[in-house]
Amino acid sequence: MSNASCIEARPRWRRRAPGVLPVLGVVLVISAAGAMTLGRYPLSLRDLLAFFGARLHLVALAPERDDLLRNLILEIRAPRIIAAASIGAALSVAGAAFQSVFRNPLASPGLLGALGGSCFGAALALLLGLSWAAVQGLSFVGGLAAVALGVGVANAFGAASMITLVLGGMISGAFFTALLSALKYMADPYDQLPTIIYWLMGSLTGVSLSQALTAAPAMLAGIAALLALARPMDALAMGEDEARSLGVPVAWVRYGAIAAATFVTALAVSLAGMIGWIGLFAPHFARLVVGPRNAVLLPASALVGAIFLIGADCLARSLVKAEIPIGIVTELLGIPAFLLVLRRSRRSWT
């Protein structure tokens, strides 16, 4: 077979994968810039250039105009865009990692109970009337505790397998969901319960610039840890026996990926509440475009998830006068989007 025939016989995603990541990066930048202009007080590209030019002392702005742009850009919109990009990337990479480690196309960031634990921790803090920082802290701790419980259950009867890990995650998730229901039953129906329910629907309204700039590097560190495990996860996706024959420490890779994915998932949920479907839809879409190799799939999933959540946040704060919880928007958009890619994504798994 000639070289041309060999190239033609290669899957399409192998031929186009190297050029996809820069394109997605450009789309992400354009999406962020577009999101900066949208809102109750629309801005133009000229406004953005003038504001950042004033920061660099290239142009001069009237004090009133500068204060208005500073408030809109730095205090209101930039935190939401940074948080949306980092949360979308974190949940998407976590979903891709779980799908690879468990060899299950339906795996998502909540597979081992992290979402249930995070929701319980946040609801407990809200019920106790703690500060917003405490709500985020207990949500993060709850997510880690739920996964630790699920892994502990899986190892309670010998060495854990993929099936026992999934079962352990189901048990842990059900346990913390039951505890969450008990907290909602005990909450004041006129004050505390609406706050808990609103938090569970997901929102970026309460994210400040300092919180976004603190959480984003931590999420990037977790994503970097998963990228470092990309090649071992590729081997693990072929099966445990094949991975061991290649010298891959199966247990270390599996638990390392679970730990990093749980870390970024719990951090994302603690920052903005429940935001569903991104961790399931984005990896499937990215796999269709760049293929199953994790070294490319993970960053592609991160970029797709970031773009998707920035767009969802724009719709959440622009469709109607009262802001829609972003978790509702991601589910309404994610379900049909997932159905569109499901047929073709089945081929990529087979």
- What are φ and ψ of residue 193, in 5° steps? -60, -45
DSSP 44-88: -HHHHHHHHHHHTTSS---HHHHHHHHIIIIIIIHHHHHHHHHHH
DSSP annotation of 329 reads H
Write the CB contacts of 330 (distance below 8 Å, at least 6 apart in sequence).
202, 275, 276, 277, 278, 308, 309, 312
Is residue 180 in a domain?
Answer: yes
Is residue 223 in a domain?
Answer: yes
- The Cα 257–Cα 98 span in angstroms is 8
**pLDDT: is 81 or 108 the higher one?**
81
- pLDDT averaged over every residue in the chain: 86
Task: Please name which of 93, 96, 13, 19 lies closest in space to residue 347, comparing C-alpha atoms.
Answer: 13
Confidence of residue 6 (pLDDT cuts 50, 70, 90): very low
Average pLDDT of the segment spanning 115-122: 92
Cβ-contact 331, 315 below 8 angstroms: no
Name the least confident of 46-50, 84-88, 93-97.
Answer: 46-50
Amino acid at residue number 190: Y
Cβ-contact 296, 290 below 8 angstroms: yes
pLDDT digits (tens, 9 = 90+) for 228-283: 999 999 888 777 788 888 888 888 998 999 999 999 999 999 998 888 889 888 99
Is residue 41 in a domain?
Answer: no
Is residue 319 in a domain?
Answer: yes
Select, from the ranges 183-187, 332-336, 343-347, the one with the highest average predicted confidence (pLDDT).
183-187
Is residue 12 in a domain?
Answer: no
pLDDT digits (tens, 9 = 90+) for 135-185: 989 999 999 999 999 999 988 876 667 788 888 999 999 999 999 999 999
Is residue 72 in a domain?
Answer: no
Is residue 276 in a domain?
Answer: yes
Q: Please name the residue ranges forming H helices in the chain.
A: 3-9, 12-37, 45-55, 63-70, 78-102, 114-127, 132-154, 162-186, 192-200, 209-228, 230-237, 240-245, 250-272, 278-290, 294-316, 326-349
The pTM of this model reads 0.89
Tokens of 349: 């798994």
For residue 197, give its domain range.
77-344
Is residue 10 in a domain?
Answer: no
- The Cα 263–Cα 85 span in angstroms is 17
- Asked if residue 8 has pLDDT above 70, the reply is no
Domain count, the chain: 1
- Asked if residue 16 has pLDDT above 70, the reply is no
Q: How much is the pLDDT for 344?
A: 63
Q: Please name the residue ranges forming H helices in 128-202.
A: 132-154, 162-186, 192-200
Confidence of residue 18 (pLDDT cuts 50, 70, 90): low
Average pLDDT of the segment spanning 12-28: 77
* Domain of residue 233, CATH code: 1.10.3470.10
pLDDT digits (tens, 9 = 90+) for 34-58: 999 988 888 888 888 888 888 887 8
Write the CB contacts of 174 (distance below 8 Å, at least 6 apart in sequence).
116
